[in-house]
């Protein structure tokens, strides 16, 4: 059976980008068609300035939202990365497989490193090495597929390179995984800056729809989205990124196709209005289930305990084999 692994970082409140790019397909498709593991990758939240209590709180909230989005712990494994030691154990072996040059080339390292420096902060070494930990997250489980948004393509490529290199040097140990993306809205853009992605750790929330935003807040944010000059609704990612983003979000919500939808609108205002309502309806059941689950922390704890136990059992034999293969 196909093995799937994917994760989400507890660095901020989950966004519409996280939902359309990843979470929704995990819940609607992936958990049914594969042996799937979904993790809140909390160690990855420590690569930039962080508040310990906030990371803990956001971790629990992310798990609760994953369940609210429809992940069923009877069908898939839901767990927190730091509960399973194998990730860090394997990460070190992969650090001994990767080179500093290939890590310095990672776009996210360049962007987030520059951001930290601009804020007068030092760049944590883990910001450089975290793609290796991500490779360990994936390779520890013999993963075939990694369902992610487009922003993660480069990291999955690195994971593939490391798996191939390790296998060639020390004997076949790891499955070489591939990234999969949703057919539409694989890169949801910030509503206020449609040239950059909607990311949960960005400071300004005005361009970001959070899954737990009130319906009226969602409407307001979408109605105030930055659009482009001109009046005609066209699907043109380069020339009209703001409108293209709205069309993709609407298509993802309604099951349509962005180019075809464009033809149905006479004005930007009408497109925004329909997109806002579609997003509100899409998120309504998630918010309702979240409210119920958030008041039952015992259930969430139990899901995580069982998830970690199952994940450990799957990862340990492969990580042990990697230790033997590398000469330990």
Q: Is 18 annotated as a binding residue?
A: yes
Among positions 163-202, residues that touch ligand ADP (CB under 6 A) are: 186-188, 197-201
Among positions 139-168, residues that touch ligand ADP (CB under 6 A) are: 148-149, 151-152
Using CB under 6 A as the binding rule, whether residue 9 contacts ligand ADP is answered as yes
Torsion of CA 243, 245, 251, 254, to 10 degrees: -90
Residue 189: beta bridge partners? Answer: 197
Residue number with the shortest CB distance to ligand ADP?
Answer: 21
Closest to ligand ADP by CB, 134 vs 304, is 134
The residues, ordered by sequence, that sit 6+ positions from 105 with a Cβ below 8 Å of its Cβ are: none
200 is annotated as an active-site residue: yes
- The Cα-based distances of 208 to 188, 192, 225 in angstroms read 10, 8, 10
What span, in angstroms and rounded, lies between the C-alpha atoms of 162 and 173? 11
Q: Of 7, 22, 322, which Cα lies nearest the Cα of 173?
A: 322
List % helix, strand, coil for the chain (3-state, nearest 5).
60, 10, 35
Distance in Å, CB of 275 to ligand ADP, minimum: 15
How many residues sit in the footprint of ligand ADP (CB under 6 A)? 22
- The answer to whether 73 and 293 are in contact (CB under 8 A) is no
273 is annotated as an active-site residue: no
221 is annotated as an active-site residue: no
Q: Is 188 annotated as a binding residue?
A: yes
DSSP 104-150: HT-HHHHHHHHHHHHTTPPPPHHHHHHHHHHHHHHHTTT-SEEE--G
The residue from 4, 5, 13, 18 that contacts ligand ADP (CB under 6 A) is 18
Torsion of CA 284, 290, 292, 298, to 10 degrees: 170
Among positions 33-62, residues that touch ligand ADP (CB under 6 A) are: none
Within the chain, strands assigned E span 3-8, 35-40, 77-80, 145-147, 178-180
Closest to ligand ADP by CB, 82 vs 173, is 82
Distance in Å, CB of 325 to ligand ADP, minimum: 29
Q: Is 10 annotated as a binding residue?
A: yes
Active-site residue, from 110, 112, 240, 272: 112
Q: Is 149 annotated as a binding residue?
A: yes
What span, in angstroms and rounded, lies between the C-alpha atoms of 327 and 291? 50
Closest to ligand ADP by CB, 19 vs 235, is 19
Q: Is 203 annotated as a binding residue?
A: no
Closest to ligand ADP by CB, 87 vs 200, is 200
Closest to ligand ADP by CB, 36 vs 188, is 188
What span, in angstroms and rounded, lies between the C-alpha atoms of 189 and 211? 15
Active-site residue, from 197, 221, 240, 272: 197
Q: Is 267 annotated as a binding residue?
A: no
- For residue 243, what are its two tokens? 């409108």
Distance in Å, CB of 327 to ligand ADP, minimum: 33
Q: Is 150 annotated as a binding residue?
A: yes
Active-site residue, from 110, 178, 200, 221: 200
- The Cα-based distances of 298 to 301, 305, 321 in angstroms read 5, 11, 35
Distance in Å, CB of 291 to ligand ADP, minimum: 22
Using CB under 6 A as the binding rule, whether residue 279 contacts ligand ADP is answered as no
Q: Which residues bind ligand ADP (CB under 6 A)?
A: 6, 8-9, 11, 15, 17-18, 20-22, 148-149, 151-152, 186-188, 197-201
Binding residues are 9-11, 17-18, 137, 149-151, 188, 197-201
Q: Which residues are annotated as a binding site for ATP?
A: 9-11, 17-18, 149-151, 188, 197-201
Residue list, annotated binding site for L-tryptophan? 137
The catalytic residues are: 112, 197, 200
């Amino acid at each position: 059976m196909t093995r799937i692994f994917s994760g989400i970082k507890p660095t901020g409140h989950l966004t519409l980008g996280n939902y359309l790019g990843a979470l929704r397909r995990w819940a609607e498709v992936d958990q049914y068609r594969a042996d799937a593991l979904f993790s809140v990758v909390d160690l990855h939240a420590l690569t930039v300035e962080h508040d310990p209590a906030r990371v803990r709180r956001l971790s629990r909230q992310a798990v609760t939202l994953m369940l609210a989005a429809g992940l069923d712990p009877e069908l898939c494994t839901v767990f927190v990365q730091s509960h399973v030691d194998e990730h860090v154990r394997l990460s070190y072996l992969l650090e001994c497989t990767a080179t500093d040059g290939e890590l310095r080339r990672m776009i996210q390292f360049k962007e987030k490193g520059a951001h930290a420096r601009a804020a007068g902060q030092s760049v944590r070494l883990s910001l450089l090495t975290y793609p290796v930990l991500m490779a360990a997250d994936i390779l520890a489980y013999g993963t075939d597929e990694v369902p992610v948004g487009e922003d993660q393509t480069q990291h999955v490529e690195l994971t593939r390179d490391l798996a191939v290199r390790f296998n060639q040097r020390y004997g076949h140990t790891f499955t070489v995984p591939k990234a999969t993306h949703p057919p539409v809205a694989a890169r949801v853009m910030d509503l206020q800056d449609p040239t950059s992605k909607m990311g949960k750790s960005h400071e300004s929330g005005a361009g970001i729809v959070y899954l737990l935003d009130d319906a009226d807040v969602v409407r307001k944010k979408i109605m105030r989205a930055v659009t482009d000059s001109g009046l005609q609704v066209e699907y043109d990612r380069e020339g009209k990124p703001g409108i293209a983003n709205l069309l993709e979000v609407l298509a993802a919500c309604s099951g349509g196709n962005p180019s075809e939808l464009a033809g149905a609108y006479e004005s930007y205002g009408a497109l925004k209005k329909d997109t806002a309502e579609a997003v509100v309806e899409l998120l309504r059941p998630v918010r309702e289930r979240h409210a119920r689950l958030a008041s039952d922390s015992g259930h969430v704890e139990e899901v995580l305990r069982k998830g970690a136990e199952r994940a450990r059992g799957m990862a340990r034999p492969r990580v042990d084999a990697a230790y033997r293969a590398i000469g330990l």
